Amino acid sequence: MENQRKNHVPHCLVLPYPLQGHINPMLQFSKRLVQQGVKVTLVNTISIWNKINKNNLDLNSIEIESISDGYDNGGLSSAENMESYKETFWKIGPKTLSQLLQKLQSSNNPVDCVIYDAFLHWTFDVSKSFGIPVGVFLTQACSVNNINFHAFEKWIELPISKSEIILPGLPKLEASDLPSFLYQYGTYPGYFDILTNQFSKIDQAEWVLVNTFYELEPEVVDWLAKKWRLKTIGPCVPSMFLDKRLKDDNDYGISTFGPNSEACIKWLDNKPKDSVVYVSFGSLAGLSEDQTKEIAYGLRDCEMYFIWVVRDSEKGKFPKEFLDLSLEKGLIVNWCPQLQVLTHEAVGCFVTHCGWNSTLEALSVGVPVIAMPLWTDQITNAKFIVDVWKIGVKGIADEKGVVRRETIKDCITDIMETEKGNEMKKNAVNWKSLAKIVVDEGGSSDKNIVEFLNELTL
Ligand code: UDX
């Protein structure tokens, strides 16, 4: 019996919410587990697996399985709206996950732990009905989780009536620094529901794993760790970009938008050090036509090289004449290997929507930021980028909510050409060193992963 236990290969089922920004970090975390000798089954919806070119995906022996969200031929984008997507997914997801667990539990190597994205909170009950321990995986910053947790507990009054918000473990915040679903309460009820329900069973989970690192948000991590069995395990960024052990790992994450554009790297190879502005607004959010135009002309007016990721769904918003004008100085791509681009020495700054992955990536590879948050946690991340981690400036929007071309030009110039910009670059490089330390052997995140595995195999 004892010997059988010794030879047992622990098996984790990992279930991210079906969005690029959630699958990427949970895939990277899965790879860390595989590296430690764990068998991982990565589960996602049929429509996500259909979208991803698996030939481009280096899975390091991770196995893939599917559940259904009820939209097998298109996922969220084929649903009428977010609310109906969620309603259908919440009905069909638990049933199909249950069928999958039934199959896996009667196999030779049943699942020892289900690590699920907190967005899919119903996974707790499904897993427990099979008697399986769970790890809740939080894909956003601890600071943001703490704010959303306060909303879930109704410790923040909604709609917000105060102008200043004081919460444990966090600096003083303006109401407008809160995630948009709270500050603009009522705007997206479907997302509000998902974000607050993340915490519904969290205090009963065996583990709470957060994609952040201790040194980035120590006070709030300490505060939440008094409530939950919390372990910081980030940044979940492919190891090769942090110069560490998995040097042969050639994976840049997943792409649900077609092949990565290698053209970017060739183009960057011919540019001087720190001369290129990299612009990307992530995988989900759309810009207004007005905002797209202002970015286009802001980039033109600052007369610097740039790479701008414009997803196909956003192309129609482009000022037509800009495509001709931009050819000399800029490269516009549908998608790119973002980490490879950010680590290229030609890139001098990152104009970003401040999605949590992009934020962690900028911090982990030492690139200063121009923060142009759009909604959700991005607003709060931008506050921390500027005031706490001090790696960037914020593009302030006008009364119509648009960051104008002059502001964009000034922000880029500030970062690329001034002493203030140099300071931010230095700060970013300091965070990069810390990110390397925490994931390297004996670092805070590495220790937490080892501890989690020791507890799992007890
Ligand atoms: C979403 C939410 O918008 C974000 O606020 C939340 O924190 C996570 O989920 P998304 O908008 O896609 O994420 O942004 P982000 O979190 O930054 O994730 C985007 C990922 O796609 C990053 O890992 C980035 O490296 C990758 N990416 C982006 C590419 O690989 N290539 C690109 O061209 C653009």
> What single letter denotes the amino acid at residue 10?
P
Q: Which two tokens stand for residue 410?
A: 């000034």
Q: Which two tokens stand for residue 258?
A: 């077609």
Q: Which two tokens stand for residue 11?
A: 């098996």
Nearest to 336 by CA among 380, 280, 376: 280
The complex's ipTM works out to 0.98
Q: 6-20, 114-128, 148-162, 189-203: which range is least confident on average? A: 6-20
Instruction: Say how far residue 30 (Cα) sits from the centre of its chain.
Output: 15
Ligand 1 center from residue 197 Cα (angstroms): 22
Nearest to 95 by CA among 127, 130, 119, 126: 126
> What's the rounded mean pLDDT across residues 256-266?
68
11 classed as catalytic = no
Query: Does residue 111 surpass a pLDDT of 80?
Result: yes
Q: Which two tokens stand for residue 152?
A: 């879930």
Confidence band for 245, pLDDT divided at 50, 70 and 90: very low
Atom of ligand 1 nearest to the CA of 281: 11
Report the C-alpha gap between 50 and 77 in whole angstroms.
Answer: 14
117 classed as catalytic = yes
Report the C-alpha gap between 456 and 49 in whole angstroms.
Answer: 28
Report the C-alpha gap between 28 and 439 in whole angstroms.
Answer: 12
Q: Which residues line ligand 1 (CB under 6 A)?
A: 19-22, 24, 139-140, 253, 280, 282-285, 309, 335-336, 338-339, 355-358, 361, 376-378
Helical spans, DSSP H, in 356-404:
356-365, 378-387
Atom of ligand 1 nearest to the CA of 358: 17
* Torsion region of 155: left, alpha or beta (phi above 0 gives left; psi -120 to 50 gives alpha): alpha
Catalytic residue among 11, 69, 117, 121: 117
pTM recorded for the entire structure:
0.94
Atom of ligand 1 nearest to the CA of 141: 7
Query: Does residue 8 surpass a pLDDT of 90?
Result: no
CA-nearest residue, atom 25 of ligand 1:
338
Sign of CA dihedral 333, 335, 337, 341: positive
Q: Which residues contact 85 (CB under 8 A, 6 or more apart)?
A: 69, 71, 75, 76, 79, 190
Give the percent of the chain with pLDDT over 90: 80
Query: If you average pLDDT over every residue of the chain, what do you get?
Result: 91
